[in-house]
Structure 1
């Protein structure tokens, strides 16, 4: 008697073993432990100082007070704030325009060429070359006894050795531009790399000229990235302290130097916590600038990916 194929029991597929309950928890715990160092860094170097500044700005002689905040309306302090904003804006525009042009020149070459590797390496070093070292380099070059100042006075009849322009706002513009330009190259290169060759080829196939391509396609795409990079440069210059402190030894032309004076002087407006109010003012401005930078960065990321 033959057995019908319909009577044969179907083969059973063994079920996959269920994952252990402890495995998922262990992986999540491992991921959480990996974030702990970063969270500790943020708490110690960002949250705690910010909270300290906010509380200190509204405290005077151990009691809540608005005296420190009211003193921000002082004419000298307001003038220093205007100088800080102007210095940051001018150096951000100089660094943004020159850095963007340099970045475009680099992008036009080979992606893995020697020129690009050399320029990006140099910019990475120069963008971090600041503080007292940078100030000393400019003093030794363009200061009253600087090498270049002495040579120009001797051969071209200039008067740089008797001028103190380097130790004022004009000098800060030059020195700040020194690290703003390479920083712009670094932060703007990814946006230029995101511009695809196919977009230009499509525009040319449709009869667009080079100027029309950049006016209608390239520049509108790059504008949010450019503005975001300029805002980043603005925040970078606005918060810079060590270079200005080394160059400017008298007066407080910018807010960071006012904070130095408030912390080291015993007679500044008679308020020990006035430095906290100045720092709070800077935190608010930088927070607004970085918020704008974040918005522009999100807009750029829509096509950059």
Structure 2
């Protein structure tokens, strides 16, 4: 009786994956991006830094001479008051928009109606980018001294005025709240249903779930959204300039006055020093925002 020879064991052949090599052609695709960044951000930033530490061309004694007077003056007197006012306005509006935008976004995420979610997110995308002169005109026509709502409710009799710090805060919330809804919605979508079910199985109430589970996870995203809103409010200019003018001191308005010579002649480089201060604030904002986004992505991924 003969037995069939057993086949020799075959070793599995593994296909070698081709190694991706970044050749010259691959790096060429990034050249337009770096070129745009260098022209759009690099050169203006270098010009601002150089101008902030040199004298203006229309100043006495000529321009181009090294000086610290511009930077020193930008953190003193009315300019420092404008900087502090801008920081207060940005922090207050960002905080209010974060507190108001979170429950709105949560209602949208938990809604069973898909059309409601799409409508709110679409409207938020439009309103978050609605600013400048059209927004100022809309509020002046509505809540100004001769606005329709002001006359209808007799708000002036109660001391209401749109052209104040409070009025500007309300106007800023018009585009900051939708921006917060857009920012926090992906983070709310990342909250897993299993976490809520596990909390309820352990007899945790809704308040306890949000206090001990949801909010600690959302905290990096909330702080990141707050920082993003702060930067957006801090950089806004056209709406405040068209609506309140010089009534509310803002650093963006101070830059415009220095460039146009409304305060002193020959202070063009002082505007560059004020711009440098805004860049420093923006860099600090981004330095806080990016690590918070990375931390929230670890939990919600």
TM bucket (normalised to shorter chain) is 0.7 to 0.9
Question: Which residue of 206, 214, 223 maps to 1:210?
Answer: 206
1:145 is displaced (CA, Å) by 2.4
Residues 89-128 of structure 1 mapped to structure 2, 5 A cutoff: 89-110=91-112, 113-128=114-129
User: Are 1:49 and 2:50 matched, yes or no?
Assistant: no
Range moving further from structure 2, 66-75 or 177-186: 66-75
Q: What do residues 3-51 of structure 1 show as CA deviations (whole Å, max 9, x unaligned)?
A: xx89xxxx9x9999998xxx977x7444323222222221122111111
- What TM-score, normalized to structure 2? 0.87
Q: What do residues 121-167 of structure 1 show as CA deviations (whole Å, max 9, x unaligned)?
A: 000000000111111111111122222223223xxxx327x978322
Q: Is the alpha carbon distance of 1:207 and 1:15 closer, same or farther for their aligned partners in structure 2, counting shifts above 3 Å?
A: closer
Does the CA contact (< 8 Å) of 2:165 and 2:248 recur in 1?
no
Q: Is the alpha carbon distance of 1:278 and 1:14 closer, same or farther for their aligned partners in structure 2, counting shifts above 3 Å?
A: closer
1:256 is displaced (CA, Å) by 0.2
Does the CA contact (< 8 Å) of 1:144 and 1:163 recur in 2?
no
Residues 105-184 of structure 1 mapped to structure 2, 5 A cutoff: 105-110=107-112, 113-153=114-154, 158-159=155-156, 165-184=161-180
1:192 is displaced (CA, Å) by 0.5
Return the alpha-carbon distance in structure 1 between the equivalents of residues 235 and 82 of structure 2: 13
1:98 is displaced (CA, Å) by 0.6
Q: Is the alpha carbon distance of 1:210 and 1:16 closer, same or farther for their aligned partners in structure 2, counting shifts above 3 Å?
A: closer
Return the alpha-carbon distance in structure 2 between the equivalents of residues 123 and 227 of structure 1: 20
Q: Is the alpha carbon distance of 1:139 and 1:208 closer, same or farther for their aligned partners in structure 2, counting shifts above 3 Å?
A: same
Does the CA contact (< 8 Å) of 1:266 and 1:272 recur in 2?
no
Q: Is the alpha carbon distance of 1:299 and 1:171 closer, same or farther for their aligned partners in structure 2, counting shifts above 3 Å?
A: same
- What TM-score, normalized to structure 1? 0.86
Return the alpha-carbon distance in structure 2 between the equivalents of residues 62 and 249 of structure 1: 32
| Root-mean-square deviation over aligned CA pairs | 3.0
Q: Is the alpha carbon distance of 1:56 and 1:208 closer, same or farther for their aligned partners in structure 2, counting shifts above 3 Å?
A: same
1:206 is displaced (CA, Å) by 2.7
Q: What do residues 50-104 of structure 1 show as CA deviations (whole Å, max 9, x unaligned)?
A: 1111111001121111010110232211111111011001100111111111001
Count of residues in correspondence between the two structures: 291
Q: What do residues 250-284 of structure 1 show as CA deviations (whole Å, max 9, x unaligned)?
A: 35601000000000116437522000100001111
Question: Which residue of 269, 273, 289 maps to 1:273?
Answer: 269
Q: Which runs of 5+ in 2 are unaligned?
A: 56-62
What does residue 80 of structure 2 align with? 78
Question: Which residue of 230, 235, 242 maps to 1:234?
Answer: 230
Does the CA contact (< 8 Å) of 2:163 and 2:247 recur in 1?
no
